[in-house]
Structure 1
Amino acid sequence: MGLRLLVYDDTCRDGAWFGLTHSWIAGDALYKALGRLDASFAAQDWDSALAWLGSFGDQEIDEIQFWGHGKWGRAMVARDALNLDSLKSRESRLLAIKERMHPDSLWWFRTCETIGADAGHRFAREWSEFFECPVAGHTFIIGPWQSGLHLLKPGESPHWTAWEGLAEGSPDAPKKSLWSTPFQPRTIHCLRSRVPSGW
């Protein structure tokens, strides 16, 4: 069995985002106690996070989860964005991670909006093709409830509409997303550690 790894944003300790890092620390501890994670990394930036993912342990990686902020087509540690430009600008670090993954591995961005709108469609498609494994993410603003969860395999086209989760704007120019609720499509609770089958 391969490693199940978590990276979370360690910069949300005060100001407008006060308490978020603390909630991720608590979630990390709970997931480990339940046997859902093997190791975690508290990230100040993406370079250090990617370096850790590429070097921790000597086993294959079954799953990577990222808990942090997101916008359409990107995942954030503070103001540091992981996006499609990263496939070139951070290629060596990403290739080191790819070498440790396999076709059934999973990248799961538990972030707001990352796979929403047109930019999110492109991100999901190209990220899964680069790593040759599935990618999962959300189209809504997430919190305890996490809506718009979809999984995309390499070579597939997004099966969700680019309008999903949008409150204002359009898929090519999104402005604002909707909050997750138990009644929105494809919703799980933050305590759920697996993407439901068929999603």
Structure 2
Amino acid sequence: MVYDRTCRGRTARPGLSHAWWAGAKLYRSLGRLHAYRGVDSWDEALEWLAEYRADQPLAEVQYWGHGKWGSARVRQQVLDRRALDPGHPLHARLAAVRQRLLPGDRGLWWFRTCETFGARPGQRFAVELADFLGARVAGHTFIIGHIQSGLHSLLPGQRPDWSETEGLREGSPDDPQRAFWSRWKAPNTITCLRGRVPDGY
């Protein structure tokens, strides 16, 4: 698991990075993950994922941080469908992680980020990333916090079965502007304490 360690509060106030760090410690103590790292960039995140215990395969990657439709970011560095292009600066590191990730439904990359799989850009990213990694990918369509709505996953070759308007508060599927906050009655809702993608999601 990797998280964005750059989202700190002002002066003595805690930021989201403190919550992600605490969550990582809790998940580690419960045996829900084997290792975690706070990162300053996607370069650092992907390098660590590719090299940490490199003799062992990866069954699951979770990223905790910020997202928008079709992307996830560390600080201001964005990971989106452009990274799947061989000419992109992140491509080689992402391909190295792919080599370690178990294939098909034995492997999982889960964005625990706001609205990464929402609207048309999110659906396109989900499809292309699953095909690139050769493994299951998961992400959300709503703004997430301790309640996390709109969780969906795709295997390589699958197409989204959720609406392009799910989680969308303002704008259109092609030009999303604002997302709804997660809520209990929204589709496919879990809490931050749930460590697995439920069956059927």
Q: How does 1:26-37 map to 2 (within 5 A)?
A: 26-37=22-33
- Aligned partners of 1:76, 1:95: CA distance in 2, in Å? 18
Measured against aligned partners, the alpha-carbon deviations of 1:2-50 in whole angstroms (never above 9, x if no partner) come to xxxx0100001124x9520000111001000000010111110000110
| 1:52 and 2:48 correspond | yes
- Aligned partners of 2:74, 2:92: CA distance in 1, in Å? 19
SS at match of 1:123: helix
SS at match of 1:96: helix
**Is the Cα contact below 8 Å between 1:142 and 1:180 reproduced in 2?**
yes
- Tell me which residue corresponds to 2:126: 124
For the aligned residue pairs, the C-alpha RMSD in angstroms reads 1.0
Q: Which runs of 5+ in 1 are unaligned?
A: 1-5
Q: Give the residue type in structure 1 aligned to 2:64.
A: W
Q: TM-score, normalised by structure 2?
A: 0.94
Q: How does 1:98-113 map to 2 (within 5 A)?
A: 98-103=98-103, 104-113=106-115
Q: How does 1:182-193 map to 2 (within 5 A)?
A: 182-193=184-195
Deviation for aligned residue 1:92: 1.0
Task: Select 1:23's aligned residue among 19, 38, 54.
Answer: 19
- Aligned partners of 2:31, 2:101: CA distance in 1, in Å? 20
Q: How does 1:1-199 map to 2 (within 5 A)?
A: 6-15=1-10, 18-57=14-53, 58-88=55-85, 89=88, 90-103=90-103, 104-199=106-201
Greater per-residue strand proportion: 1
Q: Which runs of 5+ in 2 are unaligned?
A: none
Deviation for aligned residue 1:174: 0.4
Number of aligned positions between the proteins:
193
Deviation for aligned residue 1:87: 1.4
Q: Find runs of 4+ consecutive structure 1 residues off by over 2 angstroms.
A: none
SS at match of 2:21: helix
Q: Percent identity?
A: 53
Q: Give the residue type in structure 2 aligned to 1:125.
A: V
Q: Give the residue type in structure 2 aligned to 1:100.
A: R
**Is the Cα contact below 8 Å between 1:12 and 1:18 reproduced in 2?**
no
Q: TM-score, normalised by structure 1?
A: 0.95
